[in-house]
């Protein structure tokens, strides 16, 4: 009798243990997972992660371990986890790619994609997404788009729906080649359209010798009429992303040579700015600030945003960390900050002025500026820059206390 009770108790614990442990991930290969799914008449769920990804760890700890998540996924899916770096030879990656981490893929039992999503997702929403995957038409859209592309169609509509809407999710490496193929099919006049600018806008994150970069430089005078922030986007692509290359002397020189080769009216301005930024990053602050003020004045009419961008560079070039209070350059720094505030009033540029006055030792003026913060629009300065300013992130302490009181 005791033995029967003990066996029954063990069975109950086993059942409750399975549901309590969350998703029961299959430990075999992708090919074995396909066979298992076919045998059990289930679909497949694949979690693609990396060991260094914070949101991946949060999903593993906070979502995958939940009993409600485990109950649903264990019932309907054969679930598989793949480390994108350590298991990159998996057969799964021969079919699909992850553009970021974590990436979640849902497939049918033959490996045909149903749907996918990325990023940390709350448990309840994650279950809802999983419930809707069978109704997704991602695979159908993929096949239809592929046929239209192979038939020679090159339209913005197809690019948006097929290339950005489907391939960007499951084969991100193929996006740029197809976009450049589309752009090559456009006439010079067609490239100037607002529709094509919206496509090119997606490629304004990195600098380099590519078709999108060349087209943006060639048609800047047209594109700036479509987008009030066009010139700031260009600055961050041409200058800020270009400056990342400064750590490799050969690549940096190649990049400068590329800008020269474009023979664009803009090339001279950007080359002058890059040389100025290089002085700041080399901690030649006096020379760099002199150049910054000269360039601000020279290009003020068409590019009033430059003072703000230059001040941002001054921050990340460690000026406020490496120089002491009441530095000899303080008046020049204040002048730069004031020009940034006047040309682009915002909470960010207001803080620039407060920072500059505080560095001079004029705390009264800094306080007066900060007191006006609620009346200025966004953007605000990212707290990622606070360490460059030797500022503690005090608000976290108070917000944490406020949250604990609410609980």
Q: pLDDT of 203-253, one tens digit each?
A: 998 899 999 999 999 999 999 999 999 999 999 999 999 999 999 999 999
**327 vs 38, residue with greater confidence:** 38
For the cut 90, the answer to whether the pLDDT of residue 328 exceeds it is no
For the segment 189-194, the average pLDDT, to the nearest whole number, is 96
pLDDT band at 16 (very low <50, low <70, confident <90, very high): very low
Query: Counting Cβ atoms within 10 Å, is residue 108 exposed (0-12), middle (13-18) or buried (19+)?
Result: middle
pLDDT band at 343 (very low <50, low <70, confident <90, very high): very high
**90 vs 18, residue with greater confidence:** 90
For the cut 80, the answer to whether the pLDDT of residue 20 exceeds it is no
Question: Are 201 and 169 spatial neighbours (Cβ–Cβ below 8 Å)?
Answer: no
- Residue 154 phi/psi, 5-degree rounding, is -135, 85
Strands 103-107, 43-49: pairing kind: antiparallel
What structural domains does the chain harbor? 16-136 (3.40.30.10), 137-185 (no CATH), 195-271 (no CATH), 320-407 (no CATH)
For the segment 49-70, the average pLDDT, to the nearest whole number, is 95
pLDDT at 335: 97
Of 56-60, 116-120, 173-177, 323-327, the poorest mean pLDDT is in 323-327
pLDDT at 400: 62
**Residue 138 CB neighbour total at 10 angstroms:** 19
Cα 92 to chain centroid, rounded: 25
Cis ω on the peptide bond leading into residue 378 (within 30° of 0)?
no
pLDDT at 263: 87
**Residue 390 CB neighbour total at 10 angstroms:** 9
Query: Counting Cβ atoms within 10 Å, is residue 70 exposed (0-12), middle (13-18) or buried (19+)?
Result: buried
CA-based end-to-end distance of the chain: 49
pLDDT band at 405 (very low <50, low <70, confident <90, very high): very low
Say what percent of the chain tops pLDDT 70.
93
For the cut 70, the answer to whether the pLDDT of residue 403 exceeds it is no
For the segment 105-129, the average pLDDT, to the nearest whole number, is 93
Cis ω on the peptide bond leading into residue 368 (within 30° of 0)?
no
Question: In the structure encoding, which two tokens stand for residue 361, read together?
Answer: 């030792």
For the cut 80, the answer to whether the pLDDT of residue 285 exceeds it is yes
For the cut 90, the answer to whether the pLDDT of residue 327 exceeds it is no
For the cut 70, the answer to whether the pLDDT of residue 174 exceeds it is yes
The DSSP output letter for 224 is T
For the cut 70, the answer to whether the pLDDT of residue 302 exceeds it is yes
Using alpha carbons, list the distances in angstroms from residue 383 to 117, 315, 349, 387, 393: 28, 12, 14, 8, 7
Locus of tokens 């190649």? 254
Of 10-14, 126-130, 270-274, 392-396, the poorest mean pLDDT is in 10-14
For the cut 50, the answer to whether the pLDDT of residue 342 exceeds it is yes
What pLDDT digit, counting tens, does each position of 130-145 carry?
A: 999 878 888 899 999 9
Give a three-class secondary structure readout of 285-345: HHHHHHHHHHHHHHCCCCCCCHHHHHHHHHHHCCHHHHCCCCCCCHHHHHHHHHHHHHHCC
pLDDT at 268: 95
Question: In the structure encoding, which two tokens stand for residue 272, read together?
Answer: 């002058």
Mean of all residue pLDDT scores within the chain = 91
Cα 321 to chain centroid, rounded: 27
Q: How far apart are CA 70 and CA 59, in angstroms?
A: 13
Q: Which of 251, 157, 244, 140 is nearest to 199 (CA)?
A: 157
Q: How far apart are CA 106 and CA 115, in angstroms?
A: 5
Q: Which of 172, 199, 171 is nearest to 185 (CA)?
A: 199
For the cut 90, the answer to whether the pLDDT of residue 352 exceeds it is yes
For the segment 49-64, the average pLDDT, to the nearest whole number, is 95
């Amino acid at each position: 009798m005791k033995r029967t009770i003990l066996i029954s108790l063990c069975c109950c614990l086993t059942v409750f243990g399975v549901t309590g442990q969350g998703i029961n991930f299959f430990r075999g290969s992708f090919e074995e997972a396909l066979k298992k799914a076919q045998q059990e008449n289930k679909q497949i769920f694949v979690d693609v992660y990396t060991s260094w990804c914070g949101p991946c760890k949060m999903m593993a700890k906070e979502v995958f371990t939940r009993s409600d998540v485990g109950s649903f996924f264990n019932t309907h899916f054969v679930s598989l986890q793949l480390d994108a770096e350590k298991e990159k030879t998996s057969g799964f990656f021969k079919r699909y790619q992850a553009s970021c981490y974590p990436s979640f893929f849902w497939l049918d039992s033959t490996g045909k994609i149903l749907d996918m999503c990325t990023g940390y997702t709350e448990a309840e929403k994650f279950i809802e997404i999983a419930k809707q995957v069978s109704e997704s038409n991602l695979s159908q859209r993929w096949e239809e788009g592929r046929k239209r592309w192979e038939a020679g169609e090159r339209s913005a509509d197809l690019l948006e729906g097929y290339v950005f809407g489907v391939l960007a999710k499951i084969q991100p490496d193929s996006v740029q080649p197809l976009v450049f193929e589309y752009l090559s099919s456009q006439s010079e006049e067609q490239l100037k359209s607002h529709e094509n600018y919206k496509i090119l806008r997606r490629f304004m994150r990195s600098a380099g010798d590519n078709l999108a970069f060349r087209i943006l430089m060639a048609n800047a005078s047209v594109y700036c009429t479509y987008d009030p922030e066009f010139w700031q986007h260009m600055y961050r692509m041409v200058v800020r992303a270009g400056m990342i290359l400064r750590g490799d002397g050969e690549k940096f020189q190649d990049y400068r040579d590329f800008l020269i080769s474009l023979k664009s009216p803009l090339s001279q301005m950007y080359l002058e700015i890059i040389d100025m930024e290089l002085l700041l990053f080399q901690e030649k602050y006096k020379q760099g600030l002199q150049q910054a003020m000269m360039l601000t004045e020279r290009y003020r009419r068409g590019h009033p945003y430059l003072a703000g961008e230059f001040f941002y560079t001054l921050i990340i070039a460690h000026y406020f960390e490496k120089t002491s209070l009441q530095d000899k350059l303080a008046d020049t720094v204040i002048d730069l900050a004031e020009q940034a505030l006047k040309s682009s009033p915002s909470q960010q540029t207001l803080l620039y002025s407060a920072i500059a006055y505080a560095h001079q030792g004029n705390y009264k003026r800094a306080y007066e500026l900060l007191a006006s913060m609620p009346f200025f629009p966004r953007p605000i300065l990212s707290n990622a820059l606070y360490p460059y300013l030797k500022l503690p992130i005090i608000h976290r302490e108070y917000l944490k206390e406020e949250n604990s009181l609410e609980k």
